[in-house]
Amino acid sequence: MKKNLLLLLVFLSFIGYSQKVKDSVLFKKQKSYRELTISLPPSYSKETKKTYPLLFLLDGDYLFDPFQGALRFGYYWDDLPEVIIVGISQGNERNDDCTIDQITGLPDGTGSDFFEFIGGELIPYVQNKYRISPFKIIAGHDVTASFMNFYLYKDAPLFNAYISLSPELAPNMETLIPDRLATFKQNIFYYQSSSDGDIKKMKTTITKLDENIKAVVNPTLNYKYDDFKEASHYSLVLYSIPSALYQFFASYQPISTTEFQEKIVKLESGYVTYLKNKYDVLEKALSIKMNIRINDFKAIEAAILKNKAYSELEQLAQLSQKMYPRTMLGDYQMALFYENTGDIKNAVKYYQSGFQREPIGNLTKDMMLEKATQLRTQIKK
């Protein structure tokens, strides 16, 4: 618990370094504008062709800051990607926005209007104005957490991922949501949380929903439920946010020591394929396309050398040359390939050619020259 509290204090401190942009969008049926709070990633103005996942927050009045803090902390350490955050202010309109028919359990009246407003006006407005990728997340707390689930009822859900913080579930949701989650063929992410200090009536249906979702057999479903100890209906929000984000973006994270030791080193072959698949999953599931990290290349290189699977160094070099064509990374790996397979002349050749290219990571011109010099000495002997 103390570690969790420390983490929360740290990531919330990042809020001070964040900027918010105010915007508004016309709610046509109500003939009024709804206020939005928006956070654009640090690279947004520089990388003008890059698109970013969308995190859309109901209850943006109080959920915006903790989500923004968690994300800034995460992408500071390259554990989470840059995300465009859009929070809608609901204030006194919150209950009207989430009005449902207690018999059908569906949005009704002003609730139906708000549901259509988000899908038909707000999200299209945001997509037209900002560079949004196909991966979209929605989050809410208690009544808004329940309300966001209605987008799952559509054949083509508006959102790919759902963060449900202690939801005050509408009638029949504990059975309808699992039924819907079982049908999707595309990747779908779902997170919900509760706590031992949560409102008892709500906790009962949340627990039932958890049981029903866990019974769903669908390989495209990524699901997690947290039941926090010593947390209230409100404090559980701060525990849930990093847990949900790290669940959704697990494939984004760099190769860790644990991943290296428990998965990669234990492979008998296919190290380069593992690396390619890691980034292919990232692009297909989260719509995030990025160059393979230098440190991930080095991790695969280390596994190849450790297991003496030297033939894969040539494959790794080809991938490096594709990702970082101006740098010495590919030449260095080709030099390693020849050096470890006993072809010293070609190893020297690639160390020398690498010297002509741009340094990258811990690879320097001095190092490449030194390696070439050392191997030439071996040839003369």
Q: Which of 252, 283, 298 is the last residue of a domain?
A: 252
> Do residues 170 and 282 both lie within one domain?
no
Decide which of 1 and 208 is more confident.
Answer: 208
**Amino acid in position 197:** G
> Do residues 140 and 185 both lie within one domain?
yes
Q: Mean pLDDT throughout 272-281? A: 96
To the nearest 10°, report the CA torsion of 301, 304, 307, 312: -170
pLDDT band for position 76 (cuts 50, 70, 90):
very high
**Amino acid in position 238:** L
Please say whether the beta carbons of 21 and 44 come within 8 A. no
For the stretch 301-320, pLDDT in tens is 999 999 999 999 999 999 99
pLDDT in the model for residue 376:
87
DSSP 209: H
> Do residues 25 and 174 both lie within one domain?
yes
Q: Mean pLDDT throughout 30-35? A: 93
Helix extents (H) in the chain? 2-13, 60-76, 94-97, 110-117, 123-129, 143-148, 173-181, 200-214, 236-248, 257-259, 271-286, 294-306, 311-323, 329-340, 344-355, 365-380
Q: Any idea what the CATH number is for the domain that residue 196 is in?
A: 3.40.50.1820
Please say whether the beta carbons of 333 and 267 come within 8 A. no
Q: Which of 231, 252, 273 is the last residue of a domain?
A: 252
Please, what is the average pLDDT of the chain? 93
Q: How far apart are CA 164 and CA 248, in angstroms?
A: 13
Q: How far apart are CA 1 and CA 115, in angstroms?
A: 37
Domain containing 298 equals 257-380
State how far the alpha carbon of 1 is from the alpha carbons of 6, 7, 8, 235, 236, in Å: 9, 10, 11, 12, 12
Decide which of 2 and 268 is more confident.
Answer: 268
Angle at 61 between CA 34 and CA 36, to 5 degrees: 35
Helix, coil or strand: residue 61: helix
Helix extents (H) in 215-270? 236-248, 257-259
Q: Any idea what the CATH number is for the domain that residue 325 is in?
A: 1.25.40.10
> Do residues 47 and 142 both lie within one domain?
yes
Reported pTM:
0.89
pLDDT in the model for residue 381:
58
> Do residues 208 and 349 both lie within one domain?
no
> Do residues 143 and 123 both lie within one domain?
yes
pLDDT in the model for residue 11:
46
DSSP 98: T
Examine the pLDDT at 235 and tell me if it is beyond 90: yes
> Do residues 283 and 134 both lie within one domain?
no
pLDDT in the model for residue 2:
41
> Do residues 242 and 341 both lie within one domain?
no
> Do residues 156 and 274 both lie within one domain?
no
> Do residues 217 and 306 both lie within one domain?
no
224 - beta bridge partners?
A: 191
Q: Which of 252, 287, 319 is the last residue of a domain?
A: 252
Q: Mean pLDDT throughout 63-70? A: 97
> Do residues 190 and 288 both lie within one domain?
no
Q: What's the number of domains the chain is made of? A: 2
> Do residues 121 and 239 both lie within one domain?
yes
Lowest mean pLDDT among 9-18, 161-170, 232-241, 341-350: 9-18
Q: In 10 A of CB 14, how many CB atoms?
A: 17
